[in-house]
Structure 1
């Protein structure tokens, strides 16, 4: 049921969702304690190398399309934000391929693992890896209506920020995930520039944040680069 007085939906043109299977994982290795910017870390680099070995092995399976390791660049100082400074996203054509990939990362002891399906899509997020990527974790008091809230704000980002892609990852097991969904997006420009441009737009506060509050949702963004 739509909350009362909810805003009029943006006219967002979604493409057909992907039929691929996704696995999103995060590690809290050596995140910053005060500043939002993630500095260099030998401990994190060792974990990245381990993840890259697992990703390379996973991609040898015929059903696995991509397995990409990311190093987080920015963790905004928000309450309850995930502090994953290493991320891994695996995309497979079949469920069996995803199970094979997940089995290969058991020894890495991820802090968070989410098998997911794509339920909203704009453009091609994986068109290039030479970019900064947003992993926006959405919590919701009522996950069953959170998609309505997302639909209300999704068009703002192409319209105001020039974002030409979105791959929404919805957990396969909603009851076991702390997030209603994770939005995976390739953003224009740098992590710092993207956040600054977004936060200085008045309509981000009057439309996007207000709509999310109406639906009892919170957005917890991490910005990362492939490594």
Structure 2
């Protein structure tokens, strides 16, 4: 049951979760000090090159379906928000997870999380010119946070035309700083997506209200995938 006064109308019809496993990593290399927009950085470019070299090799190994490096475009200045300006997401078969996790640690990420997919709408592919949302959810009760997510997930397809979502649920919930991370390919660019969301009254009257009622907070990063061939 939702908390009193909170609508249950935005529940979507979820697809069968993916059986793949995921490894998500973030690097805080040269994040912006004040503005939300991430500017070019030579130091970040070096980290991206190292990550791309690793990802290209990972994709040639048995058990790794995809390895994608992202450069963060927009980092909203929210209290407690992650400051990762370089991201990497690996999609693997279960037997490859431990190997990739050990090797990614050699790249000295600020954060890593192995995860499984608990909720899915459509397919979040890695279209090269798309923008991707990595929405980090924190909650007072991570074990109950899925109920809040279920009540807001349908708002995004209905109001913003989002046709996919891949919810990354941490393997070790007690050790993870996030209840889960939502990985989404968004329509249009980062700025248009944020404006479309924030300027809709129902985002504030429904989405934010539901999250508050479940003692949850969404901490987004918007990022673009880096083309691996540029770094080979």
Gaps of 5+ in 1: none
How far apart are the structure 2 equivalents of 1:121 and 1:166?
5
Alignment TM-score, normalising by the size of structure 2: 0.94
Cα offset, 1:128, TM superposition: 2.3
Query: Aligned-pair RMSD on alpha carbons?
Result: 1.2
In the alignment, is residue 41 of structure 1 matched against residue 14 of structure 2? no
In the alignment, is residue 53 of structure 1 matched against residue 53 of structure 2? yes
Q: Secondary structure at the match of 1:126?
A: coil
How far apart are the structure 1 equivalents of 2:77 and 2:200?
19
Corresponding residue for 1:134? Answer: 133
Cα offset, 1:91, TM superposition: 0.3
Of residues 147-156 and 120-129 in structure 1, the stretch that sits farther from structure 2 once superposed is: 120-129
Alignment TM-score, normalising by the size of structure 1: 0.96
Residues 24, 88 of structure 1: 8 Å contact kept: yes
In the alignment, is residue 193 of structure 1 matched against residue 186 of structure 2? no
Q: Secondary structure at the match of 1:47?
A: helix
Corresponding residue for 1:27? Answer: 27
How far apart are the structure 2 equivalents of 1:65 and 1:200?
37
How far apart are the structure 2 equivalents of 1:211 and 1:89?
28
How far apart are the structure 1 equivalents of 2:129 and 2:40?
20
Corresponding residue for 2:163? Answer: 164
Residues 24, 112 of structure 2: 8 Å contact kept: yes
Could you list the per-position Cα deviations for residues 76-104 of structure 1 after superposition, in whole angstroms to 9, with x for gaps in the alignment? 0110000000000000022x212221222
Gaps of 5+ in 2: 227-232
Which of structure 1's runs of 4+ aligned residues deviate more than 3 A?
1-6
Residues 131, 222 of structure 2: 8 Å contact kept: yes
The count of residues paired between Structure 1 and Structure 2 equals 226
Corresponding residue for 2:177? Answer: 178
Residues 9, 151 of structure 1: 8 Å contact kept: no
In the alignment, is residue 149 of structure 1 matched against residue 148 of structure 2? yes
How far apart are the structure 2 equivalents of 1:129 and 1:170?
25
